[in-house]
């Protein structure tokens, strides 16, 4: 399989399936464009017409309130028509292949496919087969990739910290099974942070060869000491079992981010979480809702990032249409 090329022949970003291999320039361009769409929530949201006449198909084969809603609002606030298709499952149930479903929707003039799927490789498969004017955006792929989450995390940190180069960033929890951690690793190793730490029980660490530039910590206290950014991950029951800490209380006692532990980080450290949170499991409620938390700001940035991304890949489509 040839390496995935997310750019078109003219060098414009066309798909976003992974942050791996992206250079800083297109990432920073997306962050800059996203920043223009950020509004305080008590103001009217940013809206526009740049996607008017275009169709975005949101295909979610795993349930997701936040990411689906975020892409849907991003697309609609730019004037696109949005098709929500949990319904893909029904075609699969009837035995239609993924690609036939995609080709069918493409034949109805779908311009962007937003895809969340638990199976690795589906986004790539689709990107390899759609027509040249069509874009594929991952909304989360198995444990591998969640690129818009990486972008919104970077945007949030830049808003609070100005730049990345001096920062100590600690990602804490189930790194091994987390697409959020992988996309964070990719974007911050590309943008360059002072120190990138992964902090987890042994059983939840990635393979030794993965994340080579990260420093590994097997205690949360050591891992977040003097950190500028503490990024907590969602832990699932079966992963706790795997880490031999089957009780949520025990997990919280050993790995939960409490106010006391957070005090080990820098005074102005920020706390992040991709959501949905397990309160009192991986994070204490008073920390989640405390003054250092930027969790809601992450959500707001998520819509802005997705607007910027849709405009970037479709600006391209718009341009191509001109000569026709």
Q: Which residues bind a copy of itself (CB under 8 A)?
A: 39, 41-45, 47, 53-55, 63-66, 68-70, 72-73, 76-77, 81, 83, 85, 87-88, 90-91, 93-97, 100-101, 103-109, 131-133, 275-279, 296-300, 302-303, 320-321, 324
Nearer to a copy of itself, 264 or 299 (CB): 299
Annotated active-site residue in 14, 15, 68, 116: 116
Q: Give me the least distance between CB of 7 and a copy of itself, in Å please.
A: 18
What sign does the dihedral 200-182-268-296 (CA atoms) show? negative
Long-range contacts of 66-73 (CB under 8 A, 24+ apart): 66/275, 66/276, 66/299, 66/302, 67/116, 67/139, 67/140, 67/148, 67/302, 68/116, 68/139, 70/299, 70/302, 70/303, 70/306, 71/114, 71/137, 71/139, 71/148, 71/306, 73/45, 73/303
Answer yes or no: 116 catalytic: yes
Q: Give me the least distance between CB of 154 and a copy of itself, in Å please.
A: 17
Annotated active-site residue in 94, 209, 267, 324: 94
Nearer to a copy of itself, 198 or 313 (CB): 313
Answer yes or no: 101 catalytic: no
Which residue carries 């079992």 as its tokens? Answer: 241
Q: In the chain, what is the greatest distance between 2 CA atoms, to the nearest angstrom? A: 63
Q: Give me the least distance between CB of 22 and a copy of itself, in Å please.
A: 25
Q: Give me the least distance between CB of 149 and a copy of itself, in Å please.
A: 14
Answer yes or no: 148 catalytic: no
Compute φ and ψ for 117, nearest 5 degrees: -150, 140
Answer yes or no: 146 catalytic: yes
Annotated active-site residue in 67, 101, 156, 168: 67
Q: Give me the least distance between CB of 300 and a copy of itself, in Å please.
A: 5
Q: Give me the least distance between CB of 136 and a copy of itself, in Å please.
A: 15
Residues in contact with 84: Cβ distance below 8 Å, sequence separation at least 6, in sequence order: 58, 60, 68, 72
Nearer to a copy of itself, 152 or 227 (CB): 152
Element (H, E) at 242: helix 237-242
Report yes or no: 158 and 134 within 8 Å, Cβ to Cβ. Answer: no
Nearer to a copy of itself, 152 or 211 (CB): 152
Which residue carries 């769409």 as its tokens? Answer: 37
Answer yes or no: 67 catalytic: yes
Residues in contact with 196: Cβ distance below 8 Å, sequence separation at least 6, in sequence order: 169, 171, 185, 188, 189, 211, 213, 214, 215
Annotated active-site residue in 14, 15, 77, 146: 146
DSSP letter for 4, please.
P
Residues classed as catalytic = 66-67, 94, 116, 146
């Amino acid at each position: 399989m040839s390496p995935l090329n997310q750019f078109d022949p003219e060098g414009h970003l066309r798909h976003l399936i992974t942050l791996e291999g992206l250079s800083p320039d297109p990432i920073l361009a997306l962050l800059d464009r996203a920043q223009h769409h950020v509004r305080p929530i008590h103001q009217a949201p940013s809206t526009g017409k740049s996607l008017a006449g275009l169709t975005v198909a949101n295909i979610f084969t795993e349930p997701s309130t936040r990411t689906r809603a975020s892409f849907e609002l991003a697309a609609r606030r730019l004037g696109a028509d949005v098709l929500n298709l949990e319904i893909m499952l029904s075609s699969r149930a009837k035995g239609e292949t993924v690609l036939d479903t995609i080709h069918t929707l493409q034949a109805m003039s779908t311009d962007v496919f937003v895809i969340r799927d638990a199976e690795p490789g589906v986004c790539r498969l689709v990107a390899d087969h759609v027509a040249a004017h069509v874009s594929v955006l991952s909304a989360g792929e198995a444990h591998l990739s969640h690129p818009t989450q990486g972008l919104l995390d970077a945007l949030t940190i830049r808003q609070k910290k100005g730049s990345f180069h001096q920062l100590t960033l600690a990602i804490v929890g189930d790194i091994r099974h987390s697409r959020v951690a992988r996309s964070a690793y990719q974007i911050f190793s590309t943008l360059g942070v002072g120190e990138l730490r992964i902090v987890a029980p042994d059983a939840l660490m990635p393979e030794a060869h993965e994340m080579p530039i990260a420093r590994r910590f097997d205690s949360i206290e050591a891992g977040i000491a003097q950190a500028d950014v503490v990024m907590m991950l969602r832990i699932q029951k079966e992963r706790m079992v795997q880490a031999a800490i089957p009780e949520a209380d025990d997990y919280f006692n050993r790995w939960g981010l409490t106010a006391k532990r957070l005090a080990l980080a820098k005074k102005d450290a920020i706390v992040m979480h991709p959501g949905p949170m397990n309160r009192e499991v991986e994070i204490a409620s008073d920390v989640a809702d405390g003054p250092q938390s930027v969790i809601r700001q992450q959500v707001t940035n998520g819509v802005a990032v997705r607007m910027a991304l849709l405009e970037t890949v479709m600006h391209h489509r718009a341009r191509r249409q001109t000569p026709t």
